[in-house]
Structure 1
């Protein structure tokens, strides 16, 4: 265990805790969490021993402890290309104003937010400009970038917008986003798989499966489509395990909905929730919802832990906050989480 807390943070729109894992691995202590979805909140409580507060619109600032970092992946559906893109006109889109309500009241040293990549293009970029302007009006220097999880040690092509604001009066150095995790280790879908026997319920056995024999299956850091199911629409494309996976999604249809289909040892199948956990960079100790549909939804809505950790290091340094690398261990005898300082 750490002998002292390096910094404190609150976890808004917490989902199943991706932000929390990433920042706790840097020595942070979560002092407050909020999540309105009862199923995600149950998964969060099961893993962290803490039941998140519910509807953020009903939370008074006095109920939220003071903290160094405010983080959260506020609802993306109003800005997603798969939704109606109503943005701030959507009730969920207005939840960003709840973030600003707490920023104004609590004045954290740093703000760390995540959303879909389309947020940057929504309404010709005006939505993002408005977001940045609101943070700047509260005295924050704001940076934003679209990063791909494929560059941070997980085999998933997942592009997301990250926004970091550091309060100008505490800024010790200019913030710059990392371009990658600086790891030489190359990963592919094949590196995170369980056996087909363990994933037998994910097998897709249909007569309308077709393969493109012209596609080579050499190692690549992007998804490599090698076949189709039915007409090859969304959720009906087959990919090689030599490449990276497509973006995990909380929604969508097709035979391989939410994960895509992969050719694994001669068998076409969806990914198992355990494999989704690994694609999102969650540790092996993380307890997954036993209901398959909920597990897929929760990982599809989650943040990629290694990306949060990589950005977090830069953010903390910019906000003049100390951090210390740690690693999660799972103690099978006590069934408890332990945080051990890395050597």
Structure 2
């Protein structure tokens, strides 16, 4: 819930605020909020940081955890959802900026890596304007305008980080018969980045079948044309099973009511009779679960845990956090409903950590090669 604060300022400061508001198009309230948030910012680029990154469409910070584990310092984050902002602040001490569409790309600090789990929105080339985009009659800014991917594109174009990692649902590649994917690839390559992509399953690292597409890019203007990258992951020697993430004792409130359990069984039977595969999931505790989704809060039907002598139960929020590979010290400071949505929308942290390791290893090798070439 938003809280109102009333401040009295001098005439001079009031005039300066009004002038800044007119120049930037930001409201006085937005300017004040940004000023207060700056009080909580950490020093830019700590000396011990191996590299810097920004965290766009940050959610609750799964990507941040991954890149921080590689020695990176996060210089900027953006997330519009107020409950995710709260979770992010409670765990990292940074309050993400809200709507990235309202952020001028010139105001974002220089960084080495851009990280973004951008939402997938419909792309349309129909009605592309004939404005001059970066010297082109049409171009990537035109084709992606009106989508949140556009904000990734404009920041990449302005700041030119050494590398980026983008994450999205597997179906992004087939959306709109592949046209959405083609626009994304064309846009990134038009920006002069060497682009690599792969669909990876989080089941390599956690007991959950979760396929996502990952897109990695390196700046060709900095590193040249012959950049190669391989998604060669190093899975853990011992793989966790679903039982390994379960809490030993769980409150009765997570057990399904008789009414809900009867409904789910009848619903599944109806779809089986029709030849469909819809229904609840009761996974083998020695294996992996289905994909945890943002709708898990509704009935928990995709992942239910068997219980002896009573109805099955939902996962707890902490178990959902573990299913996504979040560390035990990650604070859950929102309601169960919000937590289910947040973890269902998040990333498999160990998987992204491994990808981050590969990106930083390649980036460092490219930097060394560039330095050697100049010496």
Provide the TM-score with structure 2 as the length reference.
0.72
Matches within 5 A, 1:17-56: 17-56=61-100
CA distance in 2, matches of 1:283, 1:252: 20
Change (3 A) 1:181 1:273: farther
Matches within 5 A, 1:181-260: 181-195=234-248, 197-206=249-258, 229-232=265-268, 236-251=280-295, 255-257=299-301, 260=303
Change (3 A) 1:47 1:207: closer
> By percentage of residues, which structure has more strand?
1
CA RMSD across the alignment:
2.6
Gaps in structure 2 of 5+ consecutive residues: 1-45, 126-143, 272-277, 367-375
Contact 2:80/2:97, CA 8 A, preserved across alignment: yes
CA distance in 2, matches of 1:20, 1:101: 21
Larger mean CA deviation between 96-105 and 229-238 belongs to 229-238
CA distance in 2, matches of 1:88, 1:283: 40
CA distance in 2, matches of 1:247, 1:313: 24
CA distance in 1, matches of 2:123, 2:253: 37
> By percentage of residues, which structure has more helix?
2
Change (3 A) 1:63 1:115: same
* Structure 1 position 158 matched with structure 2 position 158: no
CA distance in 1, matches of 2:348, 2:124: 25
Which residue of 86, 95, 103 corresponds with 2:148? 95
Contact 1:35/1:53, CA 8 A, preserved across alignment: yes
Contact 1:156/1:279, CA 8 A, preserved across alignment: yes
Change (3 A) 1:5 1:253: closer
Quick one: higher RCO (CA 8 Å, sep 6+), 1 or 2?
A: 1
* Structure 1 position 177 matched with structure 2 position 266: no
CA distance in 2, matches of 1:16, 1:114: 15
The ranges of structure 1 where at least 4 consecutive aligned residues each deviate by more than 6 angstroms after the TM superposition are none
Corresponding residue for 1:58?
102
Larger mean CA deviation between 245-254 and 310-319 belongs to 245-254
CA distance in 2, matches of 1:187, 1:266: 26
CA distance in 1, matches of 2:67, 2:256: 38
Per-residue deviation, 1:209: 5.4
Per-residue deviation, 1:92: 10
CA distance in 2, matches of 1:52, 1:230: 44
Corresponding residue for 1:218?
none
Per-residue deviation, 1:205: 4.1
* Structure 1 position 70 matched with structure 2 position 106: no
Contact 2:199/2:211, CA 8 A, preserved across alignment: yes
Q: Output one character per residue of 1:43-91: Cα deviation in whole Å (capped at 9) or x when no partner.
A: 0001000100011011012221000000010114x3xxxxxxx4559x9
Gaps in structure 1 of 5+ consecutive residues: 79-85, 211-227, 323-343
Corresponding residue for 2:12?
none
Q: Output one character per residue of 1:123-162: Cα deviation in whole Å (capped at 9) or x when no partner.
A: 22221121111111111000111100001x2111000010
* Structure 1 position 110 matched with structure 2 position 154: no
Change (3 A) 1:244 1:125: same
Corresponding residue for 1:317?
361
Per-residue deviation, 1:263: 1.1
Contact 2:297/2:337, CA 8 A, preserved across alignment: no
Contact 1:235/1:255, CA 8 A, preserved across alignment: no
Which residue of 200, 206, 212 corresponds with 1:147? 200
